[in-house]
């Protein structure tokens, strides 16, 4: 079974036998494979056992209690012993309560999975704020030192991953200044934990944010550094080239952006290996097509961007929420290109799915489009369609 097939089978069991909705995806399965999640909740364990027709004991799940260290009295530890980090840890136990351990780290990783599932169905700035609050709380745990020494690196890595998710959600909600700061904080944690794949992810996110906020030279510096320093696996290298191509397009360099997109497509087609981190699963040809359309839009060639944006909308069936965001940008492109027949068709689709369009970037695009229509001589029916929907 592929990860997607396994996730679908588990979700079908959960819907049929519990009150849970479909919440398991390829990302969650990848975390199980890598041992990032060791003890799913009881419903999930039952679902996996049912799908594999095997008892839970044979699936490799490890109860959190197996990783607990026996509690020792701080006074007994301090008396006559050198003051080491381990001894200080138990002094903190006395002053601040039990230091967190692997249970807490696992809970952070499960929080990431729950928020991803929630964002796929609900989305919006409220989810971003919730995630930021979780990230800051985890940072507070690290700052207080209230954790077992044995989980320090894992705790840093889990907090960095939570920060990556928070940064992306803030970006999608158009809270760009806060997104930049959270990404930088998470990047520092990824580096200290030694989680190089997460460092790559965060650097590409910072390049993405830089292009979106009008700082293409910053994106070029980030991507140049990554290409020169690291032996990047295929999908990561493709993503770096994609970010670089978008920066070149923002600077008006059509020839170089086309060459960089060519490199990105070649890497995606020919260099995917087991070295690629699990988070790169979404680096699909659809993603490349979408970004090529956005690059042509950045160059001011909206007519050239429309076929690519339309292809991306049609191909984004794996992510309905993402598809709605693409559709909003396609409508803006059609209006800017003066393609009124296409704009009317897309506008009706936008209105039909408007209650599912929770992306702040998509909502901003729709507001830009509505304002543009008032200045561009768009047909009255087209303007009325968006106004009636409250855009």
Quote the longest CA-to-CA distance of the chain.
85
Residue ranges making up the domain that contains 12 = 1-62
- 82 shares its domain with 125: yes
DSSP of 328-374: HHHHHHHHHHT-HHHHHHHHHHHHHTGGG---HHHHHHHHHHHHHHH
Q: 51 and 21 in one domain?
A: yes
Total domains present in the chain:
3
Same-domain pairing of 125 and 42 = no
- What are the residues facing 100 on neighbouring strands? 147
Tell whether 253 is covered by a domain: no
Q: Are residues 79 and 39 in the same domain?
A: no
In this prediction, what percent of the chain has a pLDDT beyond 70?
Answer: 81
> Domain boundary at 38, 62, 86, which?
62
On whether both 35 and 90 belong to a single domain, the answer is no
**Is there a single domain that holds both residue 80 and residue 183?**
yes
- What would the two tokens of residue 169 be? 């959600």
Inside any domain, residue 281: no
Q: 167 with 91, same domain?
A: yes
**141 and 99: one domain?**
yes
pLDDT band at 16 (very low <50, low <70, confident <90, very high): confident
Q: Rounded CA gap, 116 and 27, in Å?
A: 9
Q: Is 291 part of any domain?
A: no
User: Does residue 119 share a domain with residue 12?
Assistant: no
pTM above 0.85?
no
- Tens digit of each residue's pLDDT (9 = 90 or more) over 77-132: 333 444 344 434 433 443 445 788 899 999 999 999 888 877 766 666 788 888 99
Residue 176 sits in the same domain as residue 94? yes
Give per-residue pLDDT as tens, 281-333.
Answer: 888 888 899 899 999 989 989 888 899 888 888 877 666 666 777 888 888 88
Q: Are residues 315 and 384 in the same domain?
A: yes
Whether 198 contacts 190, CB under 8 Å: yes
Q: In terms of domains, do 315 and 377 share one?
A: yes
């Amino acid at each position: 079974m592929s990860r997607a097939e396994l996730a679908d089978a588990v979700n079908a069991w959960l819907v049929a036998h519990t009150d849970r909705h479909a919440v398991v995806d390829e990302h969650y399965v990848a975390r199980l494979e890598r041992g990032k999640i060791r003890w799913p909740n009881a419903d999930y364990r039952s679902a996996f056992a049912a799908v594999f027709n095997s008892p839970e004991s044979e699936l490799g799940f490890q109860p959190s209690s197996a990783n607990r260290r026996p509690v020792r009295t701080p006074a007994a530890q301090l008396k006559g012993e050198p003051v080491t980090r381990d001894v200080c840890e138990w002094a903190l136990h006395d002053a601040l309560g039990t230091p967190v351990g692997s249970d807490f780290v696992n809970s952070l990783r499960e929080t990431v999975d729950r928020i991803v599932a929630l964002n796929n169905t609900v989305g919006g700035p409220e989810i971003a704020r919730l995630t930021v609050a979780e990230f800051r709380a985890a940072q507070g745990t690290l700052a207080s030192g209230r954790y077992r020494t044995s989980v320090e690196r894992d705790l840093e890595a889990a907090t960095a991953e939570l920060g990556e998710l928070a940064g992306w959600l803030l970006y999608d909600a158009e809270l760009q200044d806060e997104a930049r700061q959270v990404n930088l904080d998470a990047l520092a944690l990824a580096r200290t934990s030694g989680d190089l794949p997460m460092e790559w992810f965060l650097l590409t996110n910072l390049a993405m944010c830089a292009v979106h906020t009008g700082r293409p030279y910053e994106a070029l510096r980030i991507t140049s550094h990554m290409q020169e320093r690291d032996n990047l696996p295929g999908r990561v290298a493709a993503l770096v080239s994609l970010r670089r191509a978008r920066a070149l397009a923002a600077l008006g360099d059509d020839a170089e952006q086309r060459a960089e997109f060519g490199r990105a497509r070649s890497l995606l087609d020919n260099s995917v290996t087991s070295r690629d981190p699990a988070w790169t699963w979404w680096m699909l040809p659809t993603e490349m097509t979408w970004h090529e359309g956005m690059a042509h839009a950045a160059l001011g060639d909206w007519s050239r961007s429309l076929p690519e944006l339309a292809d991306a909308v049609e191909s984004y069936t794996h992510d309905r929420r993402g598809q709605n965001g693409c559709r909003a940008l396609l409508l803006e492109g059609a209006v800017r290109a003066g393609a009124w027949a296409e704009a009317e068709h897309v506008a009706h689709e936008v209105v039909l799915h408007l209650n599912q369009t929770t992306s702040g970037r998509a909502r901003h695009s729709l507001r830009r489009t509505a304002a543009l229509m008032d200045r561009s001589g768009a047909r009255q029916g087209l303007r009325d369609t968006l106004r009636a929907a409250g855009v």
